[in-house]
Amino acid sequence: MWASGQGRDALALGELGYRVIGVDHSSVGINQLNQEAKKRGLNVQGIVGDMHDYQITEDIDIVLLDSMLHFYKNDQKKETEFVNKILNQLKENGLFVTCILKGDKRESILKQIIDQSPYEWTVLSECYTEYIEFNATYHLLVVKKGKRIK
Ligand SMILES: C[S@@+](CC[C@H](N)C(=O)[O-])C[C@H]1O[C@@H](n2cnc3c(N)ncnc32)[C@H](O)[C@@H]1O
């Protein structure tokens, strides 16, 4: 889980029985995550670091980026490279899960990056969730990596 923050998703996934690695450059957030995981006895490990430097190893089945990609003009190149790195490093049959703010432009940029990847990707789930308290709607996309086709 990249950019896990204080563990909103990581702890919930840990409660479901997943082994979770959360990487975030905020030591405050990661300390809170690790304390809470320990208190609840979860298999959740927070690591302080820059997610751009973290390698996706073979034991990672799912990469989750929640509220992390925005594709604002100034960040678009870096974020595109970052997503491409994840798509390349993720193992075959691994899942790439993104949750981004609803928006035609950013959703189409994300889909374009996935479509242009040299691997086959199958959409397993796609939906929108409205959060009335934040006055925001989020787009969830789950894709599964297949064989290299290009
Ligand atoms: C909007 S929060 C999302 C947190 C979490 N994914 C969630 O949904 O609750 C963005 C997080 O990204 C982290 N972050 C931003 N850039 C980062 C980077 N280069 N490496 C690691 N973490 C980063 C911030 O510290 C922050 O915790």
The response to whether residue 139 sits with its C-beta less than 6 Å from ligand 1 reads no
Q: How far apart are CA 53 and CA 93, in angstroms?
A: 23
Predicted local distance difference test score (pLDDT) of residue 1: 81
- In terms of phi and psi (left: phi > 0; alpha: psi -120 to 50; beta: otherwise), the region of 67 is left
Query: Cα of 4 to ligand 1 centre, how many Å?
Result: 6
Residue whose CA lies nearest to ligand 1 atom number 18: 50
The predicted structure's pLDDT at residue 105? 96
Residues 78 and 120 in one domain: yes
Residue 51 Cβ < 6 Å to ligand 1: yes
What's the structural domain count of the chain?
Answer: 2
Provide the pLDDT for residue 135: 96
Give residue 27 CA to ligand 1 midpoint distance, Å.
11
Q: Model's pTM, two decimal places?
A: 0.96
* Domain end among 54, 72, 99: 54
User: What residue numbers bound the domain in which 7 lies?
Assistant: 1-54
Instruction: Say whether both 97 and 137 belong to one domain.
Output: yes
pLDDT along the chain (150 residues), means of 10: 92 97 96 98 97 92 96 96 97 98 97 98 98 96 96
Does residue 95 sit in the same domain as residue 138? yes
What pLDDT sits at residue 2?
Answer: 85
Q: Is the CB of 66 under 6 A from ligand 1?
A: yes
Asked if residues 122 and 144 have their Cβ atoms less than 8 Å apart, the reply is yes
For residues 19 and 81, membership in a common domain is answered with: no
CA of 67 to the centre of ligand 1 (A): 8
